Amino acid sequence: MTNDSDGMRLALEQAAKSLLIATPNPRVGCVIVRNGEILAEGHTHAPGEPHAEADALRNAAAAGKDVRGATAYVTLEPCSHHGRTPPCADAFIAAGIARVVIATLDSNPLVAGAGVSRLKQAGIEVVTGVLEAEAREINIGFFSRMERGRPWVRMKIAASLDGGTALLNGSSQWITSEAAREDGHAWRAQSCAILTGIGTVVQDNPQMNVRAIPTSRQPRRIVIDSKLQINPESKILAGGGTWIFAAQSDAKHIARLQDQGAEVILLPDANGKVDLPEVMRELGRREINELHVEAGYKLNGSLLKNGCVDELLIYLAPCLLGESFGMANLSTLIDLADRTQFTFHEFKQIGADLRLRARDISSPLTSSSGK
């Protein structure tokens, strides 16, 4: 290791180990170095367990390494408040760390520069902004919640080359390859919650959980169901914990759903539908960082029309379906200036299919995240 960028890249590798476990906390990595020698590494664990800084210090102690006078590389500003764990800034001070290199400041109002101030007041040299874009990218959902009060919303769509997502008879299994479906489960796994609509629940009776890859944590499952039509025996309710957003109330039906461990949240809009922007704000209040959407073309269209989608995750299969249901039910435009504009973020072949990621150019986080 010869410079701060090298050290931060190692810290980002550690942060990636938190991808599936840290929520609702940010994914953070820490590497402690002296004279080019790595003394210890750490990453954020599950809520209530050590943050990256504490993990690295614990690992250094277990290995008999003295970290006094060392440099710590950390992908997010060390916290300065008592939450589920003690302040990480205080841990660095107590350990005798001499220099802290930080990728990006924490947007959490409980931190927001206070961690840096505490370190500096203790006489520790602080450097910020090293590989900041990369550090924001790995925590794009956390920054979305802290800065906008709502999660980063990623909409997954599997389609043919001509944009078909299902035949007119409703058949859609399977348009894309097994490799693409496994990749989709990896995106499910890193999300805090998976959202679908009542149409998909009725048509497919999906489980909406992670099965194709190993995971120690299942995302929260969410259903948009304006008329509260969901069958209490639906697979998406199995195991409890499902949130159902509705616009109409039915006390007896709600009681049956509650018996299955579900929670019904009533958020009607002026038209008797679920207020989708308010759903996003409510999910932010409930500490959902990344929301993964797998729904039909009607709900896809409603989410897009309401400005609730930040990123499209599209798997294109090398086939044509002809007349079929499309990706989203959108309003007819008469002027191209009214189109919703996205920017391509990534292209990658997954098995026989092509994975495209595109981001809404109006999102304030699009330009600030790494590309």
- In the chain, the N- to C-terminal Cα span, in Å, equals 25
Catalytic residue among 13, 41, 49, 53: 53
Helix/strand/coil percent split, the chain, to 5: 30, 25, 45
**Spatial separation of the C-alpha atoms in residues 210 and 45, rounded to whole Å:** 20
Rounded distance, CA 246 to CA 201, Å? 14
Q: Phi/psi at 135 (nearest 5 deg)?
A: -70, -35
Q: How many CB atoms lie within 10 A of CB 259?
A: 11
What is the residue-wise DSSP string for 176-201? S-HHHHHHHHHHHHHSSEEEEEHHHH
48 in the Ramachandran plot: left (φ > 0), alpha (ψ -120 to 50) or beta? left
Residue 53 falls in the annotated catalytic set: yes
How many other CB atoms are there within 10 angstroms of residue 174's CB atom?
A: 11
CB atoms within 10 A of CB 98: 15
Phi and psi at 206, nearest 5°, equal -80, 160
β-strand pairing of 324-325 with 166-167: antiparallel
Q: Which residues are catalytic?
A: 53
